[in-house]
Amino acid sequence: MIRKLRTDELGRMSVEDFRQAKKIPVTVVLDDIRSAMNVGSVFRTADAFAVEKILLCGITAVPPNREITKTAIGATESVMWEYEADIEQVIHRLKESGYQVIAVEQTDRSVPLTDLLPQGGKLAVVFGNEVEGVSNSVLALSDACVEIPQFGTKHSLNVSVCAGIVMWELAKKYRD
């Protein structure tokens, strides 16, 4: 018979140990995300895959926020984050700090996420608004665009689901 593991059997580290632990060199940028629950979900996933930071921009809700707290389940305490209103300033600052900026968007130049090959450097992955996606001004500043291959009738994924897939793929690539 299969037995589920108890929380104390999972070997999870403390928040303080997590903050000191090695992270994958990925910063998640959320721009104009309307749903605080999506933001909380991204925090929780960022904790799961040990990304270095989340940058919240534009109208994106910031902690403390009841809906973020509900879905993040404590990840706002473990994952480093910052807020800056102006996404374009954020992109310029990231590039000046040596990040390759990748927009997650379906464009005429996007490559499948599975084909993205990080060169060992730092990546910033930008996720845009749930309706409008990544803005044209951010696309113009990005170094590349990736998209998640999809095979059904819909042409998009919920932003938190999309972020989870992207973080998982990057975690695999950086930890291999």
Number of other CB atoms surrounding residue 101 within 10 Å: 22
Sequence spans of domains, the chain: 20-147+156-175
Q: Name the band, by pLDDT with cuts 50, 70 and 90, for residue 118.
A: confident
Measuring CA to CA, how many Å separate 97 from each of 70, 89, 92?
33, 12, 9
- Encoding tokens for residue 93? 């600052």
- Yes or no: say if 126 and 103 are a contact pair by the CB < 8 Å rule: yes
Q: Residue 174 pLDDT more than 80?
A: yes
**What distance in Å separates the CA atoms of residue 10 and residue 150, rounded to the nearest whole number?**
33
Q: Name the band, by pLDDT with cuts 50, 70 and 90, for residue 50.
A: very high
Closest to 171 (Cα-Cα) out of 17, 21, 25: 25
Report the pLDDT averaged over residues 10-39.
96
pLDDT for position 176: 78
pLDDT in tens, 58-102: 999 999 999 999 999 999 999 999 999 999 999 999 999 999 999
pLDDT for position 64: 97
**What distance in Å separates the CA atoms of residue 115 and residue 118, rounded to the nearest whole number?**
10
**What distance in Å separates the CA atoms of residue 133 and residue 139, rounded to the nearest whole number?**
10
Measuring CA to CA, how many Å separate 100 from each of 7, 84, 124, 145?
37, 19, 6, 11
Return the SS3 of 69: helix
| Domain spanning 20-147+156-175: CATH 3.40.1190.20 | no
- Yes or no: say if 45 and 164 are a contact pair by the CB < 8 Å rule: yes
pLDDT for position 117: 85
**What distance in Å separates the CA atoms of residue 3 and residue 139, rounded to the nearest whole number?**
47
User: Whole-angstrom distance between the N-terminal and C-terminal Cα of the chain?
Assistant: 32
